[in-house]
A and B are shown apart, each in its own frame.
Chain A
Amino acid sequence: MPVVLARIDDRLIHGQITCSWTKKFRANRIIVVSDKVASNPFMVKALPLAAPLSPDIKISALHMNEAIEDLKSGKYEPDNMFLMTENPQDMLTLAKSGVKFDWINVGQQGQMSGMKDQKRITKTVAVGPEQAKMYREMAKYVNNKLIYQQVPEEGAYDFLPILNQNFPE
């Protein structure tokens, strides 16, 4: 089971990832999948600094097509891997492309760049009607295991019912 955590978080790798999630899953590779990040040399340089106490964790930022190719070719098979995207669009693209993961973790979303008609539906997640559709679609690829949870120490909530309450189908 190579991908142990697939997370949507617009702050990408930060303390919750390096001090909490990597400890729970003993991750040894974190891949940020984003065309925007991978084509920004400043961010590519800054990202690997994020986990100073765990130098064994390899951190990289990949373009979407690179990531899909590498992941499907089984390049990282032996690793306990985290996949991170900035937004639901990218996560949906990954799911659709056939990259396999069992569940999707919704961490923090929609606070950094506004969306059309957005609505905050949990403490740290805002969603617009467009995105609601994306979440519903990606849920199909993971057996509806779409979980809102910031860190393992905090409660996990089923994301779809929260979504349905705020954006009725």
Chain B
Amino acid sequence: MATVIQALLCAIYALIAYEDDLAQFSHFHVPTIAGFITGAIMGNPGAGLLIGGTCELIFIGIYAVGGARPPEPTVGTIIGTAIAIETGMGIELALPIAVPIAVLGAQVFTLVLTSSVVFIHAADRFNAEGKFSSAYWLHLICGPLMISGGMALLVFVGVWLGAGPVSAFNSWVATNVPWLWGALGAGAGCMVPVGLAALLRIYWNLRFIPFFLLGFTLAAVMGVGIVPIALIGGAVGLIFYVYVKLTPETQRDGGTEEKAAKKLTSNDMFWAFLRHHILQNSWCFERMQALGYYYAIMPVVEKFYTKEEAIERGKMHLEFYNTHPSASALILGIDLALEEQKQPMDVIRSMKNGLIGPMAGIGDSLMGFAARAIIVSIGASLAIAGNVAGPIFILVVSFIMFNGVKWLLMTQGYKMGLGMIDEMRRGGVEKVTTAIGILGSMAIGTVLATWVSITTPLKYVVSGITLVTLQDVLNGILPKMLPLLTLILAMTALRRGLSITKTMLLFFLVGTVLAAIGILG
């Protein structure tokens, strides 16, 4: 049994990690980092790196959009890693634990996000009485108390009590079905192409397929590592971004936007930026990020309006709001300009309601899927190779990306006001998308070729002499052919409408059975 201290440390990490995820501050919660830190707490950081990196690849295609709750990789990885190290097993035990725990974690997450609704109702009352700072406090405590707090509790219980029953089961397995863990490990390996397929589906578009094939071939045939390939992909993306001219959709209209004298100080801007980070700290199914947005914008509203007006505007900002938490910074920036110009509430409401959908579409595809996938696939690859630089790379690059993007969007939005949309339509978004798409597709191809090992032990033996080994024959045609075939099968299943979770389960079961009867492994 893990000590209470270890369980507590894991829970504290989970608390910080979920807060970081809500805030989109640095990807501190992703499996690579979760595995490494849990490994360090449990006394085996090396095993943690390998487990975390592998979990990363399994869950890479999973990202929560809108109110949908897919499996929760973070709790799955922490509990899976802790139990595997505790029982002295290893990755083959960690993966079969991590996946079901992640699914359970999604149920717990839904529960806490449903209960957190009481906070925004209380905030409604405080706002009506003009007690703005009480409403701010509600927003601040909701995250650690309910959302990340709930997940941390799950982690504590799982790490503290999980190893006992698993260990008993394990010794039963060791005496009765000694081949089981090996087969389960091979089955878990078959889940990785499913995760990659789910991610690749987002890019599935003729423009990006060549780059996927390029990344795959460079890695599979020539053995090029992910860091050099990322550099090549980055270079190609950059070449596209810099040299390709897109025909502008609309003519420049010369900034006719009416500008009031700037009254916001840089201090105001910086505080709005900081407060906006914790946009999702009181997320609930009813109005989602509304209280978070209120928390970010209200100090500026308080500055420009009388108390009565601020109460009315506060009411408006407590209305439903949900978008991609980083892309939201653009809406905040435009709103800052509009509040400063004392625009009527209708203008602001219509700007917010008009932009939350498109900004969610942009943010979810570009940051949620594409950019995250590039960063974590490099980090996970380094981690699986046993390199501590993996988690560090993810942390540093994500921190720069999230904070840079949010700051840029907010300041540009503020500068351009409502004219921002014309600016984006002039091709900026499309260029960024293509550059990210090129790099992302190459990274997925590389990860598939480098870290997915699905092999077959089948061979043709005559009187004790091995004549042909099937794997050698396959390697002669194309190294890493089986992972590629598995990915294509997974893509087909997903395109037929099978859900990601079900596809994973199916591949896991089929892989385990094939390994048990000696076809895979």
Q: Which residues of A contact B (CB under 8 A)?
A: 10-20, 23-24, 26, 37, 40, 42-43, 45-56, 108, 111-112, 120, 123-124, 150-154
Q: Is residue B309 contacting chain A, with contact meaning CB distance below 8 A? A: no
Determine which of B203, B360, B366 lies in contact with A11 in the assembled complex, contact meaning CB atoms within 8 Å.
Answer: B360
> Contacts A14-B66, A20-B65, A40-B354 given: A49-B437 contact, CB under 8 Å?
no
Per-residue A-contact encoding for B44-68, CB less than 8 Å = 1, 0 else: 0000000000000000000101111
Distance between Cα atoms of A52 and B202 in the complex (Å)? 11
Distance between Cα atoms of A3 and B159 in the complex (Å)? 49
The answer to whether A17 and B350 have CB atoms under 8 Å apart is no
B interface secondary structure, majority:
helix
The answer to whether A150 and B433 have CB atoms under 8 Å apart is no
Q: Which residues of A contact B322 (CB under 8 A)?
A: 11
Determine which of A12, A40, A56, A120 lies in contact with B350 in the assembled complex, contact meaning CB atoms within 8 Å.
Answer: A40
> Contacts A19-B65, A150-B68 given: A13-B205 contact, CB under 8 Å?
no
Q: Measured between C-beta atoms, what is the minimum distance from B68 to chain A in Å?
A: 5
Q: Which residues of B contact A45 (CB under 8 A)?
A: 421-422, 425
Q: Is residue B358 contacting chain A, with contact meaning CB distance below 8 A? A: yes
> Contacts A18-B361, A56-B205, A151-B65 given: A43-B499 contact, CB under 8 Å?
no
The answer to whether B110 and A123 have CB atoms under 8 Å apart is yes
Number of interface residues of B (CB under 8 A): 58
Q: Is residue B114 contacting chain A, with contact meaning CB distance below 8 A? A: yes
Q: Is residue B368 contacting chain A, with contact meaning CB distance below 8 A? A: yes
Distance between Cα atoms of A97 and B512 in the complex (Å)? 53
Q: Which residues of B contact A14 (CB under 8 A)?
A: 65-66, 323, 356-358, 360-361, 364
Distance between Cα atoms of A133 and B345 in the complex (Å)? 32
> Contacts A52-B433, A124-B67, A151-B66 given: A42-B500 contact, CB under 8 Å?
no
Closest to A26 in B: B495
Closest to A10 in B: B320
**Across the A-B interface, the 3 shortest Cβ-Cβ residue pairs:** A15-B364, A50-B361, A15-B65
25 A-B pairs with CB atoms under 8 Å apart are: A11-B356, A13-B357, A14-B364, A15-B360, A18-B361, A19-B364, A23-B201, A23-B495, A42-B418, A45-B422, A46-B354, A46-B355, A50-B357, A50-B362, A52-B361, A52-B362, A52-B430, A53-B366, A53-B369, A53-B437, A55-B207, A108-B66, A111-B288, A124-B285, A153-B501
> Contacts A14-B360, A19-B202 given: A53-B365 contact, CB under 8 Å?
yes
Q: Is residue B39 contacting chain A, with contact meaning CB distance below 8 A? A: no
Q: Is residue B424 contacting chain A, with contact meaning CB distance below 8 A? A: yes
Determine which of A15, A47, A50, A51 lies in contact with B66 in the assembled complex, contact meaning CB atoms within 8 Å.
Answer: A15
> Contacts A19-B364, A42-B418, A151-B68 given: A12-B357 contact, CB under 8 Å?
yes
Q: Which residues of B contact A49 (CB under 8 A)?
A: 358, 361-362, 421, 424-425, 429
Q: Measured between C-beta atoms, what is the minimum distance from A155 to chain B in Å?
A: 9
Q: Is residue B497 contacting chain A, with contact meaning CB distance below 8 A? A: yes
Q: Is residue B319 contacting chain A, with contact meaning CB distance below 8 A? A: yes
Q: Is residue B324 contacting chain A, with contact meaning CB distance below 8 A? A: yes
> Contacts A23-B202, A42-B421, A112-B319 given: A123-B365 contact, CB under 8 Å?
no
Q: Which residues of A contact B204 (CB under 8 A)?
A: 23
Q: Is residue B298 contacting chain A, with contact meaning CB distance below 8 A? A: no
Closest to A126 in B: B286
Distance between Cα atoms of A55 and B356 in the complex (Å)? 20
Q: Which residues of B contact A154 (CB under 8 A)?
A: 68-70, 499
Distance between Cα atoms of A79 and B351 in the complex (Å)? 30
Q: Which residues of B contact A24 (CB under 8 A)?
A: 495, 497
Closest to A43 in B: B354
Distance between Cα atoms of A43 and B287 in the complex (Å)? 21
The answer to whether B358 and A42 have CB atoms under 8 Å apart is no
Q: Measured between C-beta atoms, what is the minimum distance from B257 to chain A in Å?
A: 12
Q: Is residue B363 contacting chain A, with contact meaning CB distance below 8 A? A: yes
> Contacts A11-B322, A153-B501 given: A46-B66 contact, CB under 8 Å?
no
Q: Which residues of B contact A18 (CB under 8 A)?
A: 361, 364-365
Q: Measured between C-beta atoms, what is the minimum distance from A44 to chain B in Å?
A: 9
The answer to whether B350 and A42 have CB atoms under 8 Å apart is yes
The answer to whether B497 and A152 have CB atoms under 8 Å apart is yes
Closest to B425 in A: A45
